[in-house]
Amino acid sequence: MNSQTRVLVQGITGKEGSFHTSMMLKYGTKIVAGVTPGKGGTQVNGVPVYDTVKEAVKEHEIDASIIFVPARFASEAVYEAVDAGIKLVTVITEHIPVVDVAKFVRYARARGTRIIGPNCPGLIVPGESLLGILPAKYFRKGTVGIVSRSGTLTYEVSHLVGDLGQSTVIGIGGDPIIGTQLQEVVQEFDKDNNTEAIVIIGEIGGTMEERVAQLKKEGKIKKPIVGYIAGLTAPREKRMGHAGAVVYMGMGTFESKIEAFKKADIPVAKTPYEIRDILTKIVRK
Amino acid sequence: MKLYEYEGKRLFSLVNIPVPRGQVVKSPVHVQGKVVVKSQLLEGGRGKRGLVRVTEDSYGTIQELMKEGINTFLIEEFVPHTREIYLSAMMDRETGNPMIVASPFGGINIEESKDVKTFVIPIDRKLMRYDVDAIEKYVGYRGLGGVIEGLLRLILEYDAELAEINPLAITENGPLALDSKVILDDNALYRHEELLKELQREKVPADSYVELEGDVGIVGNGAGLTMATMDLVKLMGGNPADFLDVGGGADTEKVASAVIRVGSNPKVKKIVINIFGGITRCDEVAKGIVEAYRKINKPIYVRLTGTNEDEGKKILQSQGIRVYEDALTAIGDALRS
């Protein structure tokens, strides 16, 4: 993604959709069209609105879509974007039923569309483009790639990383099933020329962190990684705010993630405040 | 939404998973013969706590258990059986497909057991004979097709995020679910209103409140940040009493009710609030905190940064509430007080 990426906003006339459209435009994101059924022909912040994605793609070249549609209708919005041939779809909406997510993620994958989210803050390439709801002022251009399962914690860590700055920051979402997994983003960062080091902000539940550790151990990821896991004190089988932050069957505990990182020689920050110190040592080496 | 055992078994019946004959009662009753009296609680470990009893005196047993504060019981026929199996279903996060978790041994603590295997069933086809074969071979019993199919239906049709049978008894007449543990996906409850009505359950308001053991109340915005705050309190020598994520874009009212919720927990002696405003506006948050502070009157330590932070800080300071630039200092002061 870069400053040339042409973006469609689905659910552009809603409260969240219109507010974040103006924030993204302010940042310089190239938003070319919006969609809200029944609102075709109107405009939001000077962006033309269409009734369907199909109508929007007929009039504009579109590379990516961002979805602010309410949970009950969000799945349909994803299918609509995939069927219209859009290759990158970011789903901000939270509270979509897990089975529905599993189905649309599979559908999109089979048709070559990448989904980020759902229940995610989106992504930002500082100085280039914002595709999401991240508050732009806490990000600056730099060399650290940050990937996170959490929203606000990402802002906090980006802020703490300070003058090292970020190449790209991606919030992949806090749901149990998501379109783009941690290990996929880490592999992209490993290939990315603008990224020197990678920060993973993980949390209890699932085994994505363990998978990254495995890749690192096998030498399939070359760049240095710093890990942080939220949920040291979380009780088992209690859902900690995120739909995905829950340990079932003892899978994806805090301990198993930390253990996996240690075995792969990935330094682990005990608190978000240690991330910067560890990074400074790595990047300046 | 976690279901009671008898509610889970009602669902089992709907998908043709056999369960013992039983009745739900709220007061002592006489039942002929040997029965199992099972206290209906949402927590696990009932067996270990003596809250499940095999008895010939149902009336007396219920009377006794009611003294422990339990008010709902499932009375079931006692079913003799030779062996027990473990079976459950849930969505596999890695592949996005439903999966069956199986063990040849029932009644086990599944988290610690080594004899557990998972079987992924692709979401875009139905359950096949060879899926069932593989599971049956592993647990060493033929005749599980119907039960497995039922478990998968609970995941895909009823939006259960976990459907567990532990143990599944093997009787003369085939498999029988002696216990049930079913958790429904809160996000999908809207399409099961009929079922909720039948179970006489209300749709729970979506909030993230989790109760813990300590005495420091924790409020934050965003699940990750709130979890990190909770961890920091622990690492710095304190003990979190509860956890509440107010979510993104919380307004005055939402913040106020969150702080009141946490503060009303009698175990909570002080409250740490960690807000990083992005979408969330700090002045809105501050107004909510002030409103709650008037009602609960417990010490509050607020870390407030981000959108409109200057306005927010002024509002808090004018009410004598301590406000900090960073979370470490806020937590440090809270723990020392």
B149 and B230 both lie in a single domain: no
Give me the amino acid identity at B208.
S
Within 13 Å, how many C-alpha atoms sit on residue A67's CB side?
Answer: 30
Q: Which of B168, B197, B226 is a domain's end point? A: B197
Residues B191 and B251 in one domain: no
Determine whether the interchain pair B306/A135 forms a contact, defined as Cβ–Cβ distance below 8 Å: yes
Query: Which of B147, B169, B197 lies at the terminal end of a domain, its last residue?
Result: B197
Domain count, chain B: 3
A101 and A142 in a single domain? The answer is no
| Same-domain pairing of A92 and A142 | no
Asked if B97's CB is within 8 angstroms of A102's CB, the reply is yes
Residues A24 and A155 in one domain: no
Identify the closest residue of chain B to A107 by CA–CA distance.
B124
Residue A2 lies in a domain: no
Q: Which residues of chain B does A234 touch, with a Cβ-Cβ cutoff of 8 Å?
A: 210, 227, 230, 243
In a domain, B202, yes or no: no
The C-alpha atoms of residue B176 and residue A240 are separated, in whole angstroms, by 34
How many separate domains does chain A show?
2
* Cβ-Cβ contacts under 8 Å, A274 against chain B: none
Of B190, B222, B232, the CB nearest to A150: B222
Inform me whether the pLDDT recorded for A224 exceeds 90.
Answer: yes
Q: Are A120 and A173 in contact (CB under 8 A)?
A: yes
> pLDDT confidence of A285, banded at 50, 70, 90?
low
Domain that includes residue A87, residue range: 7-116
Q: Quick one: average pLDDT of B54-73?
A: 94
What CATH number is attached to the domain comprising A246? 3.40.50.261
Same structural domain, A139 and A277: yes
Do both B248 and B170 map to the same domain?
no
> What values do phi and psi take at A117, rounded to 5?
100, -160
Residues B69 and B86 in one domain: no
Give the C-alpha separation, A55 to A25, whole Å.
Answer: 22
Domain span at residue B238 reads 207-334
Q: Is B113 on the interface with A (CB under 8 A)?
A: no
A147 shares its domain with A255 = yes
Report the residue from A97, A203, A235 with minimal CB separation from B212.
A235
Closest chain A residue by Cα to residue B110? A249
Q: Which comes out higher in pLDDT, residue B15 or A243?
A: B15
> Which residues of B are designated catalytic?
86, 164
B7 in a structural domain: no
Run of H or E residues at A254: helix A254-263
A123 in a structural domain: no
Within a domain: residue B2?
no
- Which of B101, B108, B166, B227 to mutate: most A Cβ within 10 Å? B227
Q: What is the mean pLDDT of chain B?
A: 93
Do A184 and A50 belong together in one domain? no
Q: What is the CATH number of the domain that holds B212?
A: 3.40.50.261
Same domain, yes or no: B70 and B88: no
B10 found inside a domain? no
Please compute the mean of the pLDDT values over residues A39-45 and round it to a whole number.
Answer: 95
Measured in angstroms, the CA of B220 and the nearest CA of chain A are apart by 9
Q: Are residues A142 and A243 in the same domain?
A: yes
Q: In the listed set A85, A116, A147, which residue is the last one of a domain according to the structure?
A: A116
Report chain A residues whose CB lies below 8 A from the CB of B216.
Answer: none
Average pLDDT over residues A190-201: 97
- Whole-angstrom distance, CA of residue B303 vs CA of residue B216: 15
B43 touches chain A (CB under 8 A): no
Same domain (yes/no): B261, B160: no
Q: For the segment A102-151, what is each residue's pLDDT rounded down to a tens digit?
A: 999 999 999 999 999 999 999 999 999 999 999 998 999 999 999 999 88
Q: Quick one: B168 and B248 in the same domain?
A: no
Flag whether B125 is in a domain. yes
Instruction: Confirm whether A122 is domain-assigned.
Output: no
Q: Are residues A64 and A150 in the same domain?
A: no
Q: How far apart are the first and last CA of chain B?
A: 38
Residues B320 and B224 in one domain: yes
pLDDT, residue B87, reads: 97
Statement to judge: residues B119 and B173 lie in one domain: yes
Do B191 and B220 lie in one domain? The reply is no
- The reply to whether B14 falls in a domain is no
Specify the DSSP element, H or E, that contains B211.
Answer: strand B210-211
Q: Nearest CA of chain A to the CA of B235: how many Å?
A: 9
Alpha-helical regions (H) of chain B: 5-14, 58-66, 129-139, 145-156, 193-199, 223-235, 252-263, 282-296, 309-318, 327-336
Question: Is the distance from CB of B221 to CB of B250 less than 8 angstroms?
Answer: yes
What's the ipTM? 0.90
CB contact under 8 A, B225 and A156: yes
Note if the pTM is more than 0.90. yes
Co-location of B92 and B69 in the same domain: no
Q: Give me the CATH number covering residue A112.
A: 3.40.50.720
Contacts of B308 (CB under 8 A, 6+ apart): B277, B281, B282, B283, B284
Residues that constitute the known binding site of A for substrate: 155
CATH number for the domain harbouring residue B156: 3.30.470.20
Q: Are residues A104 and A242 in the same domain?
A: no
Q: Are A108 and A144 in the same domain?
A: no
Q: What percent of chain B has pLDDT over 70?
A: 99
Which of B43, B279, B303, B304 to mutate against chain A (most A CBs within 10 Å)?
Answer: B279
CB contact under 8 A, B187 and A96: yes
| Same-domain status, A160 and A232 | yes
Are residues B309 and B327 part of one domain?
yes
pLDDT at B60 (0 to 100): 95
Identify whether residues A157 and A91 lie together within a single domain.
no
